[in-house]
Amino acid sequence: MSMVWDLIVGPFSEFDFMRHALVGSLALSIGCTPVGVFLLLRRMSLMGDSLSHAVLPGAAIGYLIGGLSLPWMAGGGMVAGLLVALLAGLSSRRTRLDEGASFAGFYLLALAGGVVIVSKWGNSVDLMHLLFGSVLAVDDPSLILVAAIATVTLLWFGWHYRGLVLDSADPTFLGHGHGKSVMRYHLGFTVLTVMNLVAGFQAMGTLMAVGLMMLPAATARLVARTLPGMLLVAWLVASASSVIGLLISYYLACPSGPAIVLTAGIAYLGALLATPGQANTAKTPAL
């Protein structure tokens, strides 16, 4: 027993970079999983994917102004991500397009703009390396950023849980005479999503951020019956994938980010196989 324990704890106690990677992914799991669960309930599962492209022009401009500094790059990325999210939200409310189509439109605009900025003014390839982090190279500022955003996320969810649940289950319910509060939930949630994703991109890379956000949420949706159950399962899957993925990367020499996301993916596949025949049951969970 103690040998197994040594195998699990050994790498983390021996190496500082393993501890940084672990704490980073666990913090990311805390912030990202509730966001992922609500994105899934709101049928916006692909938003994370779109946003990972949308942040490029902002992060690039931040880099060109402030150089290789986390506040500039993260700040720029957040502004660009928010702009895309808000414009997409606005256009889906004001035009015939739905949220998905609006997002596709605006993120493509942003991505193309970003590629032009990067190749015109940056020394192109260098920048692509720098804009996105890696699980094994998490430094203290990135760690603080991810942890701070996870804290803000939890506080916001604690505060607005009820309203957000109502708004996600039935967007028109609060709409009757409460237009302002609807915008508040929608806006707050959008800001949180962008914050979590951008922090994840900068600290750990795009694959990690989107992967830890959506795969555990989808797994939880298959397994759990209630919303609190979903939140719990998603968090557990994300945290366990972080630990197991890092250990796989350590013992079997796989790249760390992909190892973590693949572990979460295996949980998802397992849940798919274990719970067939649910297609006709309710698409929204009991609250």
Partner 1 sequence: MFGLGKRGRRSSGGKSWLGAGAFAAMFALALAFAGPARAQDTRLPVGVSFSILSDIVKVVGGDRIDVTTLVGPDQDTHVYEPTPADVAKLSGTKLFFVNGLGFEGWLPRLMKSSHYAGTLVTVTKGLKPRTMVDDGKTVTDPHMFQDPERVKAMVDNIAAALSQADPAGSTYYAERAKNYQGALDDLITWANKQLAPIAPARRVVLTSHDAFGYLGQRFGIKFLAPEGVSTESEASAKDVANLIRVIRRTGIKAVFMENISNPRLVERIAKDAKVTVDGKLYSDALSQNPEATTYLQLFQHNIRAIAAAMKDNR
Among 128, 143, 148, 232, binds partner 1 (CB under 8 A): 128
Of 234 and 262, nearer to partner 1 (C-beta) is: 262
Helix ranges (DSSP H) in 170-205 = 179-204
Which window, 37-45, 161-169, 200-208, 270-278, contacts partner 1 (CB under 8 A)?
200-208
Determine how many CB atoms are found less than 10 A away from the CB of residue 178: 13
The minimum distance between CB 197 and partner 1, in angstroms, equals 12
Angstrom distance (rounded) from CA 166 to CA 231: 16
Which residues, 154 to 193, sit near partner 1 by CB under 8 A?
none
Near partner 1 by CB under 8 A: residue from 25, 33, 196, 206: 206
Q: Amino acid identity of 171?
A: P
Using rule CB under 8 A, residue 205 touches partner 1: yes
Q: What is the DSSP string of 52-117?
A: HHHTHHHHHHHHHHH-S-HHHHHHHHHHHHHHHHHHHHHHHHHSS--HHHHHHHHHHHHHHHHHHH
Among 25, 33, 52, 91, indicate the residue that binds partner 1 (CB under 8 A): 52
Q: Which of 31, 34, 36, 257 binds partner 1 (CB under 8 A)?
A: 257
One residue of 4, 16, 172, 282 binding partner 1 per CB under 8 A: 16
CA distances from 66 to 60, 75, 118, 250, 265 (A): 10, 10, 14, 35, 37
Q: Which is nearer to partner 1, 74 or 164 (CB)?
A: 74
Judged by CB under 8 A, the residue of 117, 174, 210, 267 near partner 1 is 210
Both structure tokens of 255: 């790249």
What's the Cα-to-Cα distance from 145 to each of 64, 69, 71, 196, rounded to whole Å?
Answer: 21, 13, 9, 10
Distance separating alpha carbons of residues 83 and 194, to the nearest angstrom: 10
Q: Give the angle 144-86-184 at the CA atoms, nearest 5°.
A: 80
Residues 234 and 217 sit within 8 Å (Cβ to Cβ): yes
Backbone angles phi, psi at 175, to 5 degrees: -65, -25
Q: In angstroms, how far is the first alpha carbon of the chain from the final one?
A: 41
User: Is position 114 an interface residue for partner 1 (rule: CB under 8 A)?
Assistant: no
Does the protein bind partner 1 through residue 98 (CB under 8 A)?
no
Q: Is 256 in the site for partner 1 (CB under 8 A)?
A: yes
Residue 18 binds partner 1, judged by CB under 8 A: yes
What is the closest distance, in whole angstroms, from the C-beta atom of residue 130 to partner 1 in the complex?
A: 7
Pick one of 252, 273, 274, 282: the residue that binds partner 1 (CB under 8 A): 252
Q: Output 137 or 187, the one with its CB closest to partner 1.
A: 137
Of 6, 98, 126, 170, the one binding partner 1 by CB under 8 A: 126
Interface with partner 1 (CB under 8 A), residue from 40, 44, 51, 246: 246
- If binding is defined by CB under 8 A, does position 139 make contact with partner 1? yes
253 binds partner 1 (CB under 8 A): yes
Give me the residues that bind partner 1 (CB under 8 A), please: 11, 14-18, 20-21, 49, 52, 115, 119, 123-126, 128-130, 132-134, 136-139, 205-207, 210-211, 246, 249-259
